Amino acid sequence: YPNPAQSEVNIQYLTSENGITSISIQNMMGQTMMVERFEDITGLSLRTINLSALESGNYLIRLENNGKVQTTKVNVIR
């Protein structure tokens, strides 16, 4: 949230194990636009991702932790 987003998006997710979480933003052509990695502990996490470097459009947010992958869409509006 928010979606659509302007300059940043908040991502709330649940991890079942401690480990490295990777959050990547991809455009609709599959190109990776940005990647951030975090050391996470088991439980609920909230991350704020800065989207100010992205142009207006639709993007996929891909979250991976310990081999588990979740994907969602975000619309960036300038």
Res 78: pLDDT = 85
- Residue 76: per-residue pLDDT: 97
Beta strands 19-27 and 43-50, pairing class:
unpaired
pTM of the model: 0.88
**pLDDT on residue 12:** 93
By the 8 A CB rule, do 22 and 49 touch?
A: no
pLDDT-above-90 percentage for the chain: 86
Q: What is the pLDDT of residues 1-25, one digit of tens each?
A: 899 999 999 999 988 889 999 999 9
pLDDT of residue 2: 95
Exposure class string for 11-48: b at 16+ Cβ within 10 A, else e: bebebeeebebebbbbeeeeeeeeeeeeebeeeebeee
Q: What is the phi/psi pair of residue 66, to 5°? A: 50, 45
Q: Please, what is the average pLDDT of the chain?
A: 94
